[in-house]
Amino acid sequence: MRFSVRHETIYSYDTPVVLAAHRLRLTPRGDCGRVLSRGLEILPEPAMMREKVDAHGNPLVLVEFGPGASDLLRIVSAFEIETRQATPPGAQRLPRLPWPRRDDAPDACLTGRDPGPEVRRFAEGLAELAGRDAMGFLELLTATLYQRTDRRIRQDGYAQSPQETLERAQGACRDLAVLFIACCRLMGLPARFVSGYQAQAESVDGQRHLHAWPEVWLGQAGWQGFDPTHGTRVRDGHVALCAAPEQEETMPVEGGYYGPPVAARLRYRVEVEVRA
């Protein structure tokens, strides 16, 4: 698919502030397709911009500002990309669940906070229903979370705990991704959090938003994406900006300002056009 994306982010402050350095995670990952064009507009104009790749393979833009104060920070990211079809796991034999610890597994994507006994029982129950088959478990987990969860839009804040999402049976895409990841890790499956965009236009409020989904490491098949918000596998209808063991490492705009606390407001607008 060919994606055209425009993502505008505006922070406004009640009184002018001196902006600190910022990290921008708004560039598509190199493993999701071929970038055809790309642009980045920032106001106030930065004193320095530098690109790098972080420890998880994500492209970053590091931005530093001058000493002047501003009551506004506006960032507009626009790009066009041709996504590539994800390679399915194929007919390889995968270990039965729970997976044993393997030396080549990404350890950072196996550890995390204990999600609690309710989530453990939920994951164990699905594993039993899937006959302890890894792919069967992942497909059943995707379908179950899609069918049982009242999906909401929540514009700010980190994800709920896995237990809260499971008990309330409602949440945003990041909440479902974090619950999915917790269930996978309980079964010995390395999993990570992905932030990006997706092709399906429908949403609860009719607007476009940044999307989140989990990826699971399946040995020789590499990272495989699942989207419990839409009940699908991730193929060529998603564009990944950032992937990391925890959500906190995938924020699209990360930074702050110098000076006393002031009231700040965040507005954003995401436009996505997709052509087959």
3 state SS for 148-212 = HCEECCCCCCCCCCHHHHHHHCEECHHHHHHHHHHHHHHCCCCEEEEEEEECCCCCCCCCCCCEE
pLDDT mean over 170-195: 96
Q: What is the 3-state secondary structure (H, E, C) of 41-104?
A: EEECCCCEEEEEECCCCCEEEEEECCCCCEEEEEEEEEEEEEECCCCCCCCCCCCCCCCCCCCC
CB distance 212 to 269 below 8 Å: no
Mean pLDDT value of segment 155-163 = 84
How far apart are the C-alpha atoms of 213 and 14, rounded to whole Å? Answer: 34
> In the prediction, which pLDDT does 157 show?
72
- Asked if residue 31 has pLDDT above 80, the reply is yes
**Of 1-5, 72-76, 95-99, which range is least confident?**
95-99
Euclidean distance between CA atoms 194 and 85, whole angstroms: 17
pLDDT at 167: 96
How confident is the model over 48-60, as a mean pLDDT?
96
The answer on pLDDT for 113 being more than 90 is no
User: Which is it for the CA torsion 214, 51, 254, 12, positive or negative?
Assistant: negative
Q: What pLDDT, on the 0 to 100 scale, is given for residue 103?
A: 73
What does the pLDDT average to over 52-60?
95
How confident is the model at residue 83, as a pLDDT? Answer: 96
Residue 122 · residue 164 · CB < 8 Å: no
pLDDT of residue 204 exceeding 70: no
Kindly give the interhelix angle for 173-186 and 117-129, rounded to the nearest 10 degrees: 70
- pLDDT computed for residue 203 by the predictor: 65
pLDDT digits (tens, 9 = 90+) for 118-155: 999 999 999 999 999 999 999 999 999 999 999 887 76
- Split at pLDDT 50, 70, 90, the class of 207 is confident
Inform me whether the pLDDT recorded for 199 exceeds 80. yes
pLDDT at 91 over 60: no
Tell me: pLDDT of 235 over 80.
yes
**Quick check: 206 pLDDT over 90?**
no
